[in-house]
Amino acid sequence: MNDGITPTTLILEASLPVQLVLITLLLLSIISWVMIFQRWLVLSAAAKGVLSFEHRFWSGMDLSQLYKEGSQMQKEDIPVVGMENIFRSGFKEFMRLRQQASVDKEAIMEGAQRAMRVAYSREEEKLEKHLPFLATVASVSVYIGLFGTVIGIMNSFIGLASQAQVTLQVIAPDIAEALIATAMGLFVAIPAVVVYNRYTASVDNITSSYITFTDEFSSILHRQVHSD
């Protein structure tokens, strides 16, 4: 007597194409989960960074003091990121242009804004890194699983063709083997879809707060330029 079929034996005794599909899906799953965890760390850190920097920025601290703190951090090999990076590049450009007497006020504002825009797009790029990969995994892994299933069912029918009497016992193992591929595909795709949607939303949140900050900061700079 056979002692039944378990998922493990199914996987181990599956035909080569199905096994290849399963291995591909497993790799995709591991990679996508690496991305999921890594993005989670990055995005939660960025969200926290937004809050803490806004708190510091609006605490009434002198802006050049804030800038010096950031420089200090950079000297200690701590990378400065997120909103603070936007502030630093805008402020640096503003100060540099302001020291040049020939530059007029509008040019100063324009330079600072351009520097902030560049920093903003760099930050956004950092946040959105790997998200397209997750999107690809989310949509493709289902098809890969389906491919494995189709191959498996095809094999099962080829096997059936040589059978005089068809019973459930003949079809069942092959169908089960085939279905494992679909199950695996879904297992990979579902977290990827959920996480992709969630992370896209939080990236949108963070970037919109960056934009808001950029506008606020440029209005402060504008005030300073025209008050002289």
Residue 44 Cβ, how far from another protein at the closest point, in Å? Answer: 8
Binding of residue 45 to another protein (CB under 8 A): yes
Q: Helices 16-57 and 82-99 meet at what angle, rounded to 10? A: 50
Q: What is the dihedral of CA 112, 113, 119, 125, to 10 degrees?
A: -170
Residue 46 Cβ, how far from another protein at the closest point, in Å? Answer: 7
Binding of residue 2 to another protein (CB under 8 A): yes
Q: Which is nearer to another protein, 24 or 113 (CB)?
A: 24
Alpha carbons within 13 A on the beta-carbon side of 103: 17
Binding of residue 114 to another protein (CB under 8 A): no
The answer to whether residues 83 and 124 touch, using CB atoms and an 8 Å cutoff, is no
List all residues 6 or more positions away from 212 whose beta carbon is below 8 Å from its beta carbon. none
In the 8-state DSSP scheme, what is residue 225?
A: H
Q: Which is nearer to another protein, 166 or 201 (CB)?
A: 166
Amino acid at 7: P
Binding of residue 23 to another protein (CB under 8 A): no
How many residues in the shown chain lie near another protein by CB under 8 A? Answer: 43
Binding of residue 160 to another protein (CB under 8 A): no
- CA–CA distance, 182 with 10 (Å, rounded to integer): 13
Taking contact as CB under 8 A, which single stretch among the options 33-41, 148-156, 203-211, 218-226 is the one that binds another protein? Answer: 33-41
Task: State the residues that interact with another protein by CB under 8 A.
Answer: 1-8, 26, 29-31, 33-38, 41-42, 45-46, 48-49, 52-53, 73, 76, 78-81, 84, 126, 165-170, 172-173, 176
